[in-house]
């Protein structure tokens, strides 16, 4: 039977209660607290069919998310991790009836953008709801009643874009959290949320507690000590960290007994290095189970279960696991589209029941072994995986070329101990012009999301090119070695 997601959340939230719901900053908020925020927002939003949420990992944002979902409003996520000008640009482009944001994100630029398109501006705080600007006449974007969420995609199936997830897909993804990430049907066990609310991994943590009335411990961002303290204090049965977090935990002095409640740690958002996996398991005595998914698929499509780990863990090191329930995977030749036999590397395609009947091609080189385990072999499009956030180099380079001093640019990823990969840029200047790294970073921060901004720049007389006059990316990368 398909889950009626809005009704399930409405039943949880409207029931209220003095029992613990959301922990943040060392303090619990009750279900009464969640109901109060959600009720005030619901009344303020009125007949708004679509709401933009400048998403942060804070209790009031979870309550706001509950308010939009339970009323079956479409929620369009806006990255908070960008400059005020970027948030303002998103607000102006989306043209939605209402925007909800933390008080600190309602900068003059954001408020001016909301007023310019008639979007109602609502500020939320830890227990507060305040209307900053009324809704104007619009015109607003047309409603999409079948779409529950709009997220900026990770870029797995192409350049990042705003993807609409139908209500049925979200309901299927919520059910899937029982076997992927750290979801559990044991509602007495809390979850510790470290993934951003605005992406698909974060939603896998935010939505199930609202359905199952489960306690949720919220961290604004992954910090190894804060995460370990949360596990020690709240004793969840399962946990999750990004691949970069595995290395950070290994580099820390965290006592192993702090993590003793965990039966497993799921690792999503990027490929987990085999040596790191072994080192983590040897030190903490906890299985580290990789998973693979994307916004376009509504969540995880391949993962390890504990049973599979006990049978194949040592033999299948480096695998992202087997197809998740409801997912069918295949590997095809990049040029012909013909399905390849086990062990051969090609492009990954997935058919996911919660999305639809068709196979969707990704830009991931992968292989499936004879037992059906998925192995990832890098990106066909050269995308950079920065701690789980995927960056398309051509998009960053195209933005750089808009700078008046830059004639051409190339962006590549280089290895990073903490994040796996980070973007860097080589730049060819226009004749007679100059630029410095600090100024370029500031300029880009007004035009890109924070994680897309290169960490280093090389200004060269001419970009290295091959015989076909195409930029030689290996030579660009060599500039940073």
Q: Which residues contact 27 (CB under 8 A, 6 or more apart)?
A: none
Cα separation, 89 vs 83, in Å, equals 10
Three-state secondary structure call for residue 224 = helix
Diameter over CA atoms, the chain: 70
Q: Judge whether 339 and 311 are in contact, CB under 8 Å.
A: no
- What is the rounded average pLDDT of the residues 74-81? 92
For residue 181, what pLDDT is reported?
A: 43
For residue 1, what pLDDT is reported?
A: 57
Q: Judge whether 182 and 263 are in contact, CB under 8 Å.
A: no
Q: Which helix (H) or strand (E) holds 319?
A: strand 319-323
Q: Judge whether 110 and 131 are in contact, CB under 8 Å.
A: no
For residue 465, what pLDDT is reported?
A: 81
Res 185 pLDDT > 80: no
Phi, psi dihedral angles at 320 (to 5 degrees): -85, 0
Band of pLDDT at residue 183, cut at 50, 70 and 90: very low
Fold of 384-478: GMP Synthetase; Chain A, domain 3 (3.30.300)
Q: pLDDT tens for residues 443-477?
A: 999 899 999 999 999 999 989 886 546 788 889 99
- What is the rounded average pLDDT of the residues 114-121? 98
* DSSP letter (8 states) at residue 465: B
The strand pair at 147-152 and 120-124 is best described as unpaired
- What is the rounded average pLDDT of the residues 260-288? 90
Band of pLDDT at residue 128, cut at 50, 70 and 90: very high
Band of pLDDT at residue 182, cut at 50, 70 and 90: very low
Q: Which of 196, 24, 101, 187 is nearest to 33 (CA)?
A: 24
Cα separation, 305 vs 469, in Å, equals 48
Three-state secondary structure call for residue 136 = coil
For residue 184, what pLDDT is reported?
A: 46
Question: Which is more confidently placed, 157 or 56?
Answer: 56
Token code pair at residue 61: 């944002």
Cα separation, 133 vs 172, in Å, equals 36
Res 175 pLDDT > 80: no
Band of pLDDT at residue 160, cut at 50, 70 and 90: low
Cα separation, 250 vs 372, in Å, equals 30
Task: Give the mean pLDDT of the chain.
Answer: 90
Q: Where would I find the H helices in 264-370?
A: 274-284, 306-312
Model confidence, pTM: 0.82
Res 78 pLDDT > 70: yes
Given the candidates 3.40.50.280, 3.40.50.12780, 3.40.50.1220, 3.30.70.100, the CATH classification of the domain at 220-379 is 3.40.50.12780
Residue tagged 């709801």 (tokens): 129
Beta bridge partners of 422: 414
Token code pair at residue 432: 């007679």
**How many degrees, rounded to 5, is the angle at CA 198 between CA 193 and CA 31?**
50
Q: Which residues contact 261 (CB under 8 A, 6 or more apart)?
A: 231, 235, 236, 237
Res 157 pLDDT > 70: no
Q: pLDDT tens for residues 384-417?
A: 889 888 787 888 998 999 999 998 899 999 998 8
Number of C-beta neighbours around residue 61 at 10 A: 24
The secondary structure of 1-70, three-state, reads CCCCHHHHHHHHHHHCCCCEEEEECCEEEEHHHHHHHHHHHHHHHCCCCEEEEEECCCHHHHHHHHHHHH
Band of pLDDT at residue 371, cut at 50, 70 and 90: very high
Q: pLDDT tens for residues 17-46?
A: 999 999 999 999 999 999 999 999 999 999
For residue 411, what pLDDT is reported?
A: 93
Helices 200-212 and 59-70 pack at an angle, to 10 degrees, of 70
**How many degrees, rounded to 5, is the angle at CA 24 between CA 41 and CA 234?**
130
Region at 20 (left for phi over 0; alpha for psi -120 to 50; beta for the rest): beta
Every domain of the chain and the residues it spans: 5-145, 220-379, 384-478
Residue tagged 């706001």 (tokens): 64
Number of C-beta neighbours around residue 192 at 10 A: 26
**Given this structure, which CATH class describes domain 5-145?**
alpha beta
Please give the C-alpha separations between residue 152 and each of 198, 403, 459, in angstroms, as whole numbers: 8, 25, 31
Band of pLDDT at residue 176, cut at 50, 70 and 90: low
- Judge if 5-145 and 220-379 fold alike in CATH terms: yes
- Percentage of residues in the chain with pLDDT exceeding 90? 64
Q: Judge whether 231 and 249 are in contact, CB under 8 Å.
A: no
Phi, psi dihedral angles at 362 (to 5 degrees): -100, 175
Q: Judge whether 295 and 152 are in contact, CB under 8 Å.
A: yes
Q: Minimum mean pLDDT among 280-284, 312-316, 369-373, 429-433: which range? A: 429-433
């Amino acid at each position: 039977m398909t889950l009626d997601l809005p009704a399930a959340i409405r039943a949880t939230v409207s029931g209220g209660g003095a029992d613990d719901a959301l922990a943040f900053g060392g303090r619990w908020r009750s279900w009464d607290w969640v109901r109060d925020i959600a009720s005030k927002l619901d009344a303020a939003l009125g007949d708004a069919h679509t709401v933009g949420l400048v998403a942060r990992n804070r209790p009031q944002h979870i309550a706001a998310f509950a308010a939009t979902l339970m009323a079956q409003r479409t929620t369009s996520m806006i990255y908070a991790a960008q400059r005020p000008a970027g948030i303002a640009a998103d607000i102006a482009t989306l043209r939605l009836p209402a925007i909800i944001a933390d008080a600190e994100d309602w900068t003059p630029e954001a408020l001016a953008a909301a007023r310019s398109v008639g979007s109602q501006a609502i500020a939320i705080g830890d227990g507060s709801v305040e209307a900053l600007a009324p809704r104007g006449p619009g015109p607003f974007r047309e409603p999409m009643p079948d779409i529950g969420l709009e997220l900026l995609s990770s870029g797995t199936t192409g350049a990042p874009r705003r993807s609409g997830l139908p209500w049925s897909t979200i309901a299927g993804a919520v059910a899937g959290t029982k076997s992927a990430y750290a979801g559990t049907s044991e509602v007495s066990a809390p979850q510790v949320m470290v993934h951003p609310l605005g992406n698909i991994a974060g939603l896998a943590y935010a939505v199930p507690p609202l359905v199952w009335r489960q306690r949720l411990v919220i961290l604004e961002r992954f910090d190894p000590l804060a995460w370990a303290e949360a596990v020690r204090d709240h004793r969840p049965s399962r946990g999750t960290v990004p691949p970069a977090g595995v290395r950070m935990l290994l580099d820390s002095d965290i006592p192993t007994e702090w993590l003793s409640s965990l039966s497993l740690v799921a690792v999503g958002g990027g490929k987990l290095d085999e040596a790191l996996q072994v080192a983590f398991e040897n030190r903490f005595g906890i299985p580290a189970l990789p998973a693979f998914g994307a916004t376009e698929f509504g969540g995880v499509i391949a993962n390890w279960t504990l049973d599979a780990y006990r049978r194949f863990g040592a033999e299948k090191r480096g695998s992202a696991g087997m197809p998740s329930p409801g997912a069918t995977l295949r590997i095809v030749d990049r040029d012909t589209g013909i399905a390849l036999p086990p062990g051969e590397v090609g492009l990954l395609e997935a058919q996911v029941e919660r999305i639809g009947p068709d196979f969707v091609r990704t830009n991931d080189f992968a292989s499936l072994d004879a037992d059906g385990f998925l192995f990832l072999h890098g990106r066909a499009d050269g995308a950079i995986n920065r701690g789980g956030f995927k960056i398309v180099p051509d998009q960053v380079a195209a933005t750089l070329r808009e700078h008046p001093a830059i004639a051409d640019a190339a962006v590549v990823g280089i290895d990073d101990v903490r994040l796996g990969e980070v973007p860097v840029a080589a730049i060819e200047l226009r004749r007679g012009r100059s630029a410095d790294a600090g100024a370029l970073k500031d300029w880009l921060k007004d035009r890109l999301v924070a994680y897309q901004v290169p960490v280093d720049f090389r200004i060269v007389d001419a970009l290295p090119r091959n015989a076909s006059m195409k930029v030689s990316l290996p030579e660009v990368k060599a500039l940073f070695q």
